[in-house]
Amino acid sequence: MQGLQRFQEGELMIVNEAVAIAEEISSNAYKMSSAEWRGRRYDIKTLADLTPDEVVHGPLAQIIRYVGRKAETSLSSSEYDFYKICLQDHTILSTLKKFPELRLLPFTLYIVTHELIHVIRFSKFLQAFDASAREKILEEARVHEKTQAVLRLAQIPDMGAVFDFYRAWQGPLDDLRDMA
């Protein structure tokens, strides 16, 4: 997106590292086999790979659900959900500037782990994507709780500041949207 601050090369390397750790931590947390994990249909993208529709102002990330269709047939039974985790570089970077005790690696590790836990719970039908507003708030609290539990076990350096940040600012920090 033009005009919005994006992750630079060095930052992207750190974000990639955070994504790799987040994938490992969250698949372990739900005891998923590697085949099961590879079968998850999701992608994680930064601002450079987002369409204007996928950019939001406020949340650090959002999950968009797309309905995929296998090319060879148009039967509705061949439809599948695909989740795109859209990291909002500009908001993550401005938050880091505002809260200098936050570090990019643990902060993005928290954000991505949180989003992956949402995706795992949707795809295991532990939670409906289009739940009521009240149910979404309850789910948000559950996902934060689970995120913190698994990250605490992983003992990531500088994660304490991230937990403090979420304790103080916890709210509608991400956003779920549907697109056909």
Residue 86 to residue 61: CA distance in whole angstroms: 5
**Beta strands 42-45 and 79-87, pairing class:** parallel
| Beta strand ranges found along 5-149 (DSSP E) | 42-45, 61-69, 79-87
Nearest approach, Cβ of residue 9 and Zn ion (Å) = 28
Binding site for Zn ion (CB under 5 A): 140, 174
Residue 69 to residue 73: CA distance in whole angstroms: 8
**Cβ distance to Zn ion smaller for residue 25 or 76:** 25
Nearest approach, Cβ of residue 135 and Zn ion (Å) = 13
Nearest approach, Cβ of residue 115 and Zn ion (Å) = 7
**Cβ distance to Zn ion smaller for residue 8 or 172:** 172
Nearest approach, Cβ of residue 114 and Zn ion (Å) = 5
The count of C-alpha atoms lying within 13 angstroms of the C-alpha of 121, restricted to the half-sphere facing its C-beta, is 21
Nearest approach, Cβ of residue 167 and Zn ion (Å) = 15
**Which residues, 6+ apart, have CB-to-CB distance to 60 below 8 Å?**
87, 88, 91, 92, 95, 111, 173, 174
| Token digits of residue 179 | 């697109």
**Cβ distance to Zn ion smaller for residue 11 or 140:** 140
Closest chain position to Zn ion (CB): 174
The vertex-121 CA angle with 115 and 134, nearest 5°, equals 85
Residue in this structure with the two tokens 């060095």, named with its chain if needed:
10
**Cβ distance to Zn ion smaller for residue 89 or 140:** 140
**Cβ distance to Zn ion smaller for residue 13 or 126:** 126
